[in-house]
């Protein structure tokens, strides 16, 4: 997207040059100022969050709305540990809510150690779903610790050959397709992916498959993130869980000051 590929991205990001020049979606830091009427946060609070529309998290200061994707940092975690947990959990929540996963649903997560996949495993476990995680065998203990009930080592077995069937197959890395995963789905099962798929088929299949009355495809687009969703991100950032993974700090530039009911956060980590 940052390279304006595919070309249609330019319609949203800028036709000839980027509309937003300060990059960064994920942030963490200390609240340095609050706007008039803000009651949920105070100066000095340690917070983290995500803004997928305005960017700007690579700056030293960032203005964010009170009702945005923002939460306090769990005790015992650093800024570098919580910031990477937000984007993956946002997309995982979008997929899980679209599938309306409930207790005792059987769900397969392909790519269970990635940002989206690891968050999905934790959120699904919290909902009471029975989770089968697909990952490298070296990470089996890790995903079991996140809540997976079963683990398929993709270096030893193609998950497509699994004998079990599922209510939902969630491809968190976009490496498979509905055609390949169809045999894993129960008669009314759902296939979800984080990628457009071959020939961008995941844009068309959600329109076509419901007409056939059987297995279906959904390709949900995340809505504007809010504090409720950030609460789930917070649950994925407890000590010892995937939120502890980070990519390291960056250098800073300066962005605009806050207005209205926003608060100003001085960033200590962003990616």
Per-residue pLDDT of 183-223, as tens digits, reads: 999 999 999 999 999 999 999 999 999 999 899 999 998 76
Stretch 76-102: mean pLDDT: 92
Instruction: Report which of 15, 200, 9 is spatially closest to residue 1, judged by C-alpha positions.
Output: 9
Same domain? 106 vs 167? yes
What pLDDT sits at residue 107? 98
What pLDDT sits at residue 221? 85
What pLDDT sits at residue 271? 30
Same domain? 64 vs 156? no
What pLDDT sits at residue 244? 34
Same domain? 39 vs 114? no
Same domain? 34 vs 105? no
Report if residue 238 sits inside a domain. no
Report if residue 254 sits inside a domain. yes
Same domain? 111 vs 213? yes
Report if residue 69 sits inside a domain. yes
What pLDDT sits at residue 235? 56
Per-residue pLDDT of 249-269, as tens digits, reads: 222 222 333 333 344 555 443
Q: What is the span of the domain harbouring residue 144?
A: 100-218
- The sheet carrying 166-171 orders its strands as 150-153, 130-135, 106-110, 166-171, 185-193, 216-218
Instruction: Report which of 122, 131, 214 is spatially closest to residue 169, judged by C-alpha positions.
Output: 131
Residue 34: which pLDDT band, with cuts at 50, 70 and 90? very high
What pLDDT sits at residue 256? 31
Give me the percent of the chain exceeding a pLDDT of 70: 81
Query: pTM for the complete prediction?
Result: 0.77
Report if residue 240 sits inside a domain. no
Same domain? 28 vs 106? no
Same domain? 74 vs 183? no
Same domain? 187 vs 132? yes
Same domain? 133 vs 193? yes
Q: What is the 3-state secondary structure of the chain? A: CCCCCCHHHHHHHCCCCCCCCCCCCEEEEEEEEECCCCCCCCCCCEEEEECCCCCCCCECEEEEECCCCEEECCCCCCHHHHCCHHHHHHHHHHHHHHHCCCCCCEEEEECCCCHHHHHHHHHHHHHCCEEEEEECHHHHHHHHHHCCCEEEECCCCCHHHCCCCEEEEEECCCCCCHHHHHHHEEEEEEEEECCCCHHHHHHHHHHHHHHHCCCEEECCCCCCCCHHHHHHHHHCCCCCCHHHCCCCCCCCECCCCCCCCEEEEEEEEEC
Same domain? 123 vs 213? yes
Residue 4: which pLDDT band, with cuts at 50, 70 and 90? confident
Domain count, the chain: 2
Same domain? 164 vs 257? no
Report if residue 235 sits inside a domain. no
Report if residue 61 sits inside a domain. yes
Residue 150: which pLDDT band, with cuts at 50, 70 and 90? very high
Report if residue 92 sits inside a domain. no
Same domain? 134 vs 30? no
What pLDDT sits at residue 2? 65
Stretch 74-101: mean pLDDT: 92
Task: State the average pLDDT for the chain.
Answer: 83
231 pLDDT exceeds 60? no
Report if residue 232 sits inside a domain. no
What's the CATH code of the domain at 212? 3.40.50.720
Q: How far is CA 121 from CA 47, 110, 181, 248, in A?
A: 24, 10, 19, 24
CA distance 109 to 113: 10
The residue from 178, 202, 218 where one domain ends is 218
What pLDDT sits at residue 225? 58
């Amino acid at each position: 997207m940052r390279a304006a590929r595919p070309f249609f991205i330019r319609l949203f990001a800028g036709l000839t040059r980027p509309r937003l020049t300060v990059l960064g979606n994920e942030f963490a830091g200390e609240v340095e100022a609050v706007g008039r009427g803000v009651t949920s946060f105070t100066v000095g609070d340690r917070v983290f969050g995500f803004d997928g529309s305005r960017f700007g998290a690579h700056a030293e200061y960032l203005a964010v709305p009170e009702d945005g994707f923002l939460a306090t940092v769990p005790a015992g975690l650093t800024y570098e540990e919580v910031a990477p947990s937000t984007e993956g959990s946002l997309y995982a929540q979008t997929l899980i809510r679209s599938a309306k996963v409930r207790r005792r649903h059987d769900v397969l997560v392909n790519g269970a150690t990635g940002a989206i996949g690891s968050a999905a495993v934790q959120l699904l476990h919290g909902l009471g779903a029975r989770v089968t995680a697909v990952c490298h065998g070296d990470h089996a203990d890790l995903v079991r610790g996140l809540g997976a009930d079963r683990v398929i080592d993709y270096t030893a077995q193609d998950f497509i050959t699994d004998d079990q069937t599922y209510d939902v197959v969630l491809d968190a890395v976009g490496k498979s397709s509905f055609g390949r995963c169809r045999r894993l789905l129960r008669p009314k099962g759902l296939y979800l992916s984080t990628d457009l798929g071959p020939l961008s088929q995941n844009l068309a299949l959600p329109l076509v498959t419901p007409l056939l009355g059987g297995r279906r495809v959904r390709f949900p687009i995340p809505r504007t993130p809010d504090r409720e969703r950030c609460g789930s991100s917070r649950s994925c950032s407890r000590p010892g869980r995937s939120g502890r993974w980070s990519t390291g700090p960056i250098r800073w530039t300066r962005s605009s000051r806050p207005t209205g009911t926003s608060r100003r956060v001085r960033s200590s980590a962003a990616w």
